[in-house]
Amino acid sequence: MAAVRKRDYYEVLGVARNASEEELKKAYRRLAIQLHPDRNPGDKQSEEKFKEVNEAYQVLSDPDRRAKYDRLGHAAFEGHAGGGFGGFDFTQGFEEVFSDIFGDFFGAGRTRSRSHGRRGDDLRYDLEIEFEEAARGVEKTISFQRLATCDACSGSGARSGAAGARTCPNCRGTGQVRTQQGFFSIATTCGQCRGEGTIIADPCPKCQGQGRIRRAQSLSVRIPPGVDSGSRLKLRGEGEAGASGGTAGDLYVVVHVREHELFARQGNDVVVEVPVSFPQAALGGEIDVPTLDGKVKVKVQAGTQSGKVLRLKGRGFPDLHGYGRGDQLVKIVVETPRRLSARQRELLEEFAKVSGEDVNHPMSKGFVDKLKQMFG
């Protein structure tokens, strides 16, 4: 009976012959997820392809085996004992990649022994501040709940004076138990110690053997001038306490700036719209303009049009990194009166009669001229 011709290992993984170690691993992970027997129950074809992919990866992920294969092809491994797949041990070097891919499927986790402390989780706190506080900077006191090291047992989890943690007899301290399925093994979290690797015979009554308790915490936080909505402040070590002596996580304070009734922000510039009357815009004069530093007088030139923007240098937000301040942009909005007295109407009608369109209304004249060009 003719021997079955093996496919090229590079072809099996779908990579080039000069593929890097990382490229090999990515290709292997992708195919392993796709072809894994637990995803294709009863599919013999997928199972065979899964074995083929494993064989290819075992050879190409090993520098010595890969070099031999590149020189001699499949002949480099002919005659090895073990049948089927040239005598390769597919559990060797496979578990690391396998746990990365399928850990979530089977509840497998990394070894979590109490002798190796775990870092605490990071926390997030959303802080809302006023527009002016964002410009000037402010100090706020925040309160939140977090896991802190138990003061009764100092984080050991054992009752004061009692023996400490002992190695879990079920997993022998690894935090995992393994079951063999075919040519590879599956690691699952130990049910007796719940992945900790150790068991406490006499747990601390205050924290029930956890080594940590939930506690209210208050902190004073300094918000620097120039922050904007979405800015994050990192407070190192102010997150959850680490387990089994591990380092504490960090606290991230996310700033949200309330909208202002007058001001808006554009980068480090502050924008404000100021209404002026028709006579003020036509005759010119001084108007009061609010700024972050208080009210200032601003001169309006005669004939100022609605939408004109005046720039007040250095009246905006300070740069968060210390590079000066932005400006304040004052947008003039000419306000048309809604109710006229008889005398006001009389004067405006007289003004309309004596107004010369060419001189006093150049924008209107230009618009009319363009209409004539378009429509004749």
φ and ψ of 59, to 5 deg: -75, -50
pLDDT tens profile 5-61: 788 999 999 999 999 988 998 999 889 888 877 778 778 888 888 889 889 998 998
CATH topology match: 9-106 vs 123-257: no
C-alpha to C-alpha distance for 35 and 44, rounded to whole angstroms: 10
Considering only the top CATH level, what class is 263-375?
A: mainly beta
Q: With respect to CATH, is domain 123-257 assigned 3.30.360.10?
A: no
Domain 9-106 has CATH 1.10.287.110: yes
pTM of the predicted protein model:
0.58
Cα–Cα distances in angstroms (integers) from residue 307 to residues 275, 287, 304, 314, 335, in the given order: 10, 16, 9, 21, 11
Q: Are 112 and 196 in contact (CB under 8 A)?
A: yes
pLDDT band at 4 (very low <50, low <70, confident <90, very high): low
The residues spanned by each domain of the chain are 9-106, 123-257, 263-375
- 353 vs 213, residue with greater confidence: 213
Q: What is the pLDDT of residues 320-338, one digit of tens each?
A: 888 899 999 999 999 988 8
First to last CA, the chain: 94
